[in-house]
Chain A
Amino acid sequence: EPEVTQTPSHQVTQMGQEVILRCVPISNHLYFYWYRQILGQKVEFLVSFYNNEISEKSEIFDDQFSVERPDGSNFTLKIRSTKLEDSAMYFCASRGTGGTSQPQHFGDGTRLSIL
């Protein structure tokens, strides 16, 4: 079964540094998402992306964050100047066509640790 893959599985970064989290969505999917889960808390929506544009973003997704689809297969989340509170598990997801009733398929996540 096709999977969403995320790299790296664990990223350790100094506060203030830039970090890029990478995702390869399922190949025929056109809708892409990032979510995060701070340890012990619920999974929170960050951003959705379609047709090379952000479709929707949460209040968490401020100017420090950006997303990009640099080529036909990768989808990235960049945090420009990381803060301690950015430490979390970041999940990428993708969805096929058929409307928002179609399920989002999630990767295994990248654990981001900010020191």
Chain B
Amino acid sequence: AQSVTQPDIHITVSEGASLELRCNYSYGATPYLFWYVQSPGQGLQLLLKYFSGDTLVQGIKGFEAEFKRSQSSFNLRKPSVHWSDAAEYFCAVGARGTDKLIFGTGTRLQVFP
């Protein structure tokens, strides 16, 4: 069965610091991978997606993620975090033959000035 693990429940960084949020998935073939962000009281906004091709994908708000098949990972990165990036980040996996997304438990990002 598909599953997604986000090992970090809560991360705190200083504004301007770099960021990496971890995501590991379990799936027999190459999945479709997504990162969503949820600001307080808001819905889920798509940051970026991977489904084939270049393993480094660029998203909105300066985020990028790298798909590493050997590590079953799809980590989200940003070189310099802004205070407005404080939110909850969800990694999700989809698969061929099914239309549902499986979400990780999320990582709450706190940004200090």
Contact = CB atoms under 8 A, between A and B. Distances in A.
Interface stretch (B20-28, B40-48, B62-70, B71-79): B40-48
A108 interface: yes
B49 A100 contact: no
Contacts of A4: 43
**7 closest A-B pairs (Cβ-Cβ)?**
A101-B51, A108-B43, A106-B44, A45-B100, A43-B103, A106-B43, A48-B99
Given A43-B101, A100-B97, A107-B43, 11 more contacts: A42-B90, A42-B104, A42-B106, A48-B99, A48-B100, A56-B100, A100-B32, A101-B94, A105-B46, A106-B36, A106-B43
A55 B43 contact: no
Interface residues of A, number: 27
Contacts of A109: 43
Given A56-B99, A91-B43, A106-B36, A43 B94 contact: no
Contacts of B104: 42
Give chain B's interface residue range (CB within 8 Å of chain A): 20 to 34
B99 to A, nearest CB: 5
Nearest to A101: B51
B111 interface: no
Interface of A: 4, 6, 31, 33, 35, 41-45, 48, 50, 55-56, 58, 91, 93, 95, 100-101, 103-109
B48 to A, nearest CB: 9
Nearest to A50: B99
Contacts of B42: 108
Pick from A41, A50, A100, A107 the residue with the most CB of B within 10 Å: A100
B6 to A, nearest CB: 9
